[in-house]
A and B are shown apart, each in its own frame.
Chain A
């Protein structure tokens, strides 16, 4: 008998079965080994990059760096289009000690979190002192501060491009309300008070018969905590943690100040803008100029009504100018910008360093992976980024603003694309930027802030109640 047969008469012996299984296992293992050894192998500097830009202008960016003296090949590796997902992915890569990407584009709001977690290289140890001095002297200091360790002042990120939101408006509708070029010129650089601005918006909305007066973003997401609420609160003289100097810590040793009257009033103002029948409306402010939809809008959903001609005013980042003021959209003749309005001046502000026109500070830096196996070539890319020609080239290619104030003044910048027409306003915004309080506890705090600010403007809670709740939540997170 050659082997045991099963009851159904199969002719496969146990011996043959075990042999076949063993051979299959060995084949699979070999396949695994072969596959496992096949990764990597390229000598290019791998750069974790913006996915849209990598797709649209990737080759131009490589050429720009090559033209400016980078010998090494560059591979642009697109990150996730959702910035939160991209941050999580980069954190996992760096924690796992992965050598690639060698350099990352990193949101100015994340860099301090990565610094405190010890995940990125200290560029102060890698750059020459003259290069560090250039960053010190020639860059927007408010923006560069987000790339520094708040404790030591060391530089961990090379500023790539800052981003400052501005108030955007439809000039055509303003003309229908009787305003003209001289007004637009004034508005471009001289901020109004929220009271004046809201009356102006209501007036234009009525004159032009537009659906919405004002569109902005107030969803439960980080954009509300870092930016829209941060701007409005600061322009009223309020702050999350007792003023500008405490933005980056020390966590636990800074006061939580969100239940101050100035912050509550800033939310009352937003609620007044949304609700025509708000019992606690601020006197002298136009009511009902913004749709209640803003509590579910982020950047793109709030931009659509403006692009479609359904809004007078729109708060957004410069990318929205590039899209809305393009010739095939509203056009530069019909599209204007102004600095964000304010409620109190710097002198009147309750919290130090706040008050006056305030734009949230966004933008991205380039950071170095400490596990990189091509550190020298990666530093060459970072050093090349510092060249004016590269900054202006990136501005020309994708509208990324140069992080040096003097480049704003250049003729080349003014002649660049659609956004070049609006640099006066963007410069004012840059000079009055407010960073988000980015510390290791910020990701947790950001969701708390967005939830309460949203509830207050949606009318689910009174501003007082929302800010008292937020006060105690933030105090809890500060006690690490």
Chain B
């Protein structure tokens, strides 16, 4: 009597054949790294579609003129970029805005003079980015150091600090708009006495409005920096402080030799995130003042979109390129210090 043996599951599967089975086997036999990349492939494809394609399409659009309205779009190569950097396109920017500030050189100190600095979209964006990110980092660091301490009510303080971050941009913009509006504002008179803002037409004065927008951004986003930095602070091994204390290190030495070097990678990432966001500033400007008064690069993209789409695309691509350069700079720093 013949004896039938029941094949186990593995044997049953191994008898199957066909492309699907071959593919499955191939996947099963991949190494850990290979399998990880395989799993990441859909993400890369998705990112490529949602991030890279629009960027390439924007670049393509920036090579054309007459994209809006009747008639054929005209391929002009890099003319939109040339016009942007030579000032030829300034006439399409809102109000008296220019892309670059006027630069003149003469024998008078400091020899190189910048004219209309606050009318330049590039200069305004860079000034806003540098000032806001600097103060947000400083304040955020301070807040994080405080929150890193054990004290009663720490949870409440944390919640209080995060409130500005939770407020939508338009509401935040309206708060600052109303604080300086001639009918409802209460701050203009006090600050104007010190010459900090213009006494009248405050929200239409570029220097005043840029200051208000920058302060508004710092108020909101310092909490974001604080939370990121706090996460970094809490990942530092507390034993290091105990050792330092035993060794007789002062508070400053502990900060300089332990906290700061170990928090630096986190700080770099936090600054990177904020720089990217600050370079794209638009909503706050639009709700507090207007793009004509505070001309940022993103403002220019929006303002030219419906009339000069090729120029708008060129502006968007240049903005993306500047952000890309800033990102690469931070990543290179991290790479050099061995953090990635």
| Chain B residue nearest to A6 in the complex (CB) | B32
| Chain A residue nearest to B303 in the complex (CB) | A447
**Known A91-B306, A296-B182: A220·B70 in contact at CB below 8 Å:** no
Of A126-134, A157-165, A340-348, A448-456, the one with at least 4 CB within 8 A of chain B? A448-456
Cβ-based interface call for A408 (8 A): no
- Residues B181 and A296 in contact, CB atoms below 8 Å apart: yes
Partner of A18, one of B27, B92, B201, B292: B27
Q: How far is the CA of A91 from the CA of B35 in the complex (A)?
A: 47
- Residues B95 and A448 in contact, CB atoms below 8 Å apart: yes
Partner of A292, one of B28, B201, B205: B201
CB distance from B182 to the nearest CB of A (A): 4
Cβ-based interface call for B91 (8 A): yes
Q: Chain A contacts of B293 at CB under 8 A?
A: 220, 451
Partner of B92, one of A15, A87, A293, A477: A477
Cβ-based interface call for B235 (8 A): no
- Residues B292 and A469 in contact, CB atoms below 8 Å apart: no
Q: Chain B contacts of A116 at CB under 8 A?
A: 69-70
- Residues A473 and B91 in contact, CB atoms below 8 Å apart: yes
Q: How far is the CA of A415 from the CA of B20 in the complex (A)?
A: 81
A-contact 0/1 string along B22-62, CB 8 Å cutoff: 00100110000001000000000000000000000000000
Q: Chain B contacts of A447 at CB under 8 A?
A: 94-95, 292, 303
**Known A440-B307, A473-B91: A220·B292 in contact at CB below 8 Å:** yes
CB distance from B324 to the nearest CB of A (A): 27
- Residues B28 and A15 in contact, CB atoms below 8 Å apart: yes
Q: Chain A contacts of B24 at CB under 8 A?
A: 15, 18
Q: How far is the CA of A151 from the CA of B181 in the complex (A)?
A: 44
Cβ-based interface call for B204 (8 A): yes
- Residues A293 and B182 in contact, CB atoms below 8 Å apart: yes
Q: Chain B contacts of A441 at CB under 8 A?
A: 307
Q: How far is the CA of A293 from the CA of B203 in the complex (A)?
A: 11
Cβ-based interface call for A95 (8 A): yes
Q: How far is the CA of A118 from the CA of B70 in the complex (A)?
A: 5
Partner of A14, one of B35, B203, B290, B305: B35
- Residues A295 and B200 in contact, CB atoms below 8 Å apart: yes
Q: How far is the CA of A185 from the CA of B202 in the complex (A)?
A: 40
Chain A residues 1 to 54 lying within 8 A of chain B, measured CB to CB, are 1-4, 14-15, 18
Q: How far is the CA of A219 from the CA of B183 in the complex (A)?
A: 14
- Residues A117 and B70 in contact, CB atoms below 8 Å apart: yes
CB distance from B331 to the nearest CB of A (A): 30
CB distance from B72 to the nearest CB of A (A): 12
- Residues A304 and B204 in contact, CB atoms below 8 Å apart: no
Q: Chain B contacts of A473 at CB under 8 A?
A: 91, 96
Chain A residues 293 to 351 lying within 8 A of chain B, measured CB to CB, are 293, 295-297, 301, 304
Cβ-based interface call for B3 (8 A): no
How many residues in A have their beta carbons less than 8 Å from beta carbons of B? 43
Q: Chain A contacts of B35 at CB under 8 A?
A: 14
Q: Chain A contacts of B182 at CB under 8 A?
A: 291-293, 296-297
- Residues B290 and A221 in contact, CB atoms below 8 Å apart: yes
- Residues B91 and A477 in contact, CB atoms below 8 Å apart: yes
Cβ-based interface call for A378 (8 A): no
How many residues in B have their beta carbons less than 8 Å from beta carbons of A? 30
- Residues A88 and B306 in contact, CB atoms below 8 Å apart: yes
Chain B residues 61 to 81 lying within 8 A of chain A, measured CB to CB, are 68-70
Cβ-based interface call for B10 (8 A): yes
Partner of A451, one of B9, B200, B292, B303: B292
Q: Chain B contacts of A1 at CB under 8 A?
A: 10
Cβ-based interface call for A443 (8 A): yes
A-contact 0/1 string along B248-292, CB 8 Å cutoff: 000000000000000000000000000000000000000000101
Cβ-based interface call for A83 (8 A): no
B-contact 0/1 string along A428-441, CB 8 Å cutoff: 00000000000011
Q: How far is the CA of A295 from the CA of B208 in the complex (A)?
A: 15
| Chain B residue nearest to A294 in the complex (CB) | B182
- Residues A451 and B95 in contact, CB atoms below 8 Å apart: yes
Q: How far is the CA of A87 from the CA of B35 in the complex (A)?
A: 51
The contact sample of 20 A-B pairs, CB cut-off 8 A, is: A4-B28, A18-B27, A88-B306, A91-B306, A117-B68, A118-B70, A295-B201, A295-B204, A296-B202, A296-B204, A301-B183, A441-B307, A444-B94, A447-B94, A448-B95, A448-B96, A450-B95, A458-B200, A459-B200, A477-B91
> What are the 5 tightest A-B residue pairs by CB atom distance, in nearest-first order?
A117-B69, A451-B95, A476-B91, A118-B70, A293-B182
Q: A95-B68, A117-B69, A221-B290 are in contact. List 19 more A-B contacts (CB 8 A).
A: A14-B27, A15-B27, A18-B27, A91-B306, A118-B70, A293-B200, A295-B200, A440-B69, A441-B307, A444-B307, A447-B94, A447-B95, A447-B292, A447-B303, A450-B292, A451-B293, A454-B201, A459-B200, A476-B91
B residues within 8 Å of A by Cβ? Answer: 9-10, 24, 27-28, 35, 68-70, 91-92, 94-96, 181-183, 200-205, 290, 292-293, 303, 305-307
